[in-house]
Amino acid sequence: MANVCVVGAQWGDEGKGKIVDWLSEQADVVVRFQGGHNAGHTLVIDGRVYKLSLLPSGVVRGGKLSVIGNGVVVDPWHLVEEIEAIRAQGVDISPKTLRLADNATLILPLHRELDHFRETSNSGLKIGTTKRGIGPAYEDKVGRRAIRVIDLADAAALERKVERLLAHHNALRRGLGIGEVEAGALVADLLAIAPKVLPYADTVWRLLDAERRAGRRILFEGAQGALLDVDHGTYPFVTSSNIVSGQAATGSGLGPRAVGTVLGIAKAYTTRVGEGPFPTELFDETGEILGTRGREFGTVTGRKRRCGWFDAVLVRQTVMTSGIDGIALTKLDVLDGMSELKVCTAYRLDGETIDHLPAGQSAQARVEPVYETVEGWAASTAGARSWAELPAEAVKYVRRIEELIGAPVTVLSTSPERMDTILVKNPFES
């Protein structure tokens, strides 16, 4: 049986929650390997809704081990709040069911403040972040001055590390006209939260290796989407971590051979939150219809999502950069009743037709979509659980997408309900 890595194949919000929940039921271990609490999953289990942003999806299912890997940046105060909120819904969360990498980087209040300042000030480039401190925390990680989970266990070392951290941040804050952070107060806050966090800390790379050797099924759960990857996304309008499947190995401590099957999640159309290029974005009534029918509002932020036609060029790129074996196509039912649909098959840039999104920011802003028109369908696909229940035109649409992106649709979702799914191939049995 293969392990499975789930990655968003667009700009996030692809409906990973339902797919990840379905897969987590089959898994023994569920691992978050990148990002922070800036991206959310909504799970519906037995009629109860769970909104997760940092905790792996496995926590809401009994008998699963959930792991927050070293590739994640962790706000310890948010972690404790989220644990308590999910516990209040009757879910048992303890160190027996949840493990936190002891070498994971912490998000501190000063990171949130810096993130908020950058996004709300009149100077500099606005990325459209969630203002939760994700980017500044990753900056400190690569700058080798971060505070990590394990540092909470050594008060003397913590004080020295905080002083070193503030030598950088207070100089930065003075330049921005922000008040300085007092070291003693920050250390006190960290030591106060430490007893609530440290019981979950573990040497995760060793734990996961033992689980792998024991034959446990591991699900690597990605957050956001690969087009927000700091290397392979629409830079600089990206997040601060790698999202492509290769990060599952780096962000968990397991070797790349352990990652197994890669399942990409893509909507039957395209959405994006925040700033940045969006070649197929619609500013007309059709865009509004997609947003209304698809309930396109962010789980974590509540921000309205930008909507557009399916962009096969971008998904094809993600298939390549993440080594995607199959696609779970979601929200097909949102397209019901449209007489015709469009799919972006290429771009036009300065009079030339190209087959990929260029890396340059100005070029990305200038590309124009080349569309292929596809016949729509009048009948409903909502709730379909077999190909035979789909209108012929809907099947043709899915097959054309497969051809254009170079990957098969192995899972087709026809509503938010968990069982309204057409399964072609179980990723765990690849």
Residue position matching structure tokens 């099924």: 217
13 tagged catalytic: yes
Choose, from 37, 41, 111, 232, the residue flagged as catalytic: 41
Which stretches of 222-338 are assigned E, i.e. beta strand?
261-267, 270-272, 306-308, 310-311, 326-330
Taking CA atoms, 212 is separated from 240, 344, 404, 408, in Å, by: 29, 40, 35, 27
Residue position matching structure tokens 């392990």: 3
Q: d(Cα 49, Cα 299) in Å, to the nearest integer?
A: 12
Neighbours of 63 (CB within 10 A): 8
Q: d(Cα 408, Cα 4) in Å, to the nearest integer?
A: 16
Inter-residue contact 220 to 5 (CB < 8 Å): yes
Q: d(Cα 110, Cα 301) in Å, to the nearest integer?
A: 20
Choose, from 13, 21, 202, 311, the residue flagged as catalytic: 13
41 tagged catalytic: yes
For residue 232, how many C-alpha atoms fall within 13 Å in the half-sphere facing its CB? 24
The burial of 289, by beta-carbon neighbours within 10 Å (0-12 exposed, 13-18 middle, 19 or more buried), is given as middle
Residue position matching structure tokens 């962790």: 74
Q: Which residues are catalytic?
A: 13, 41
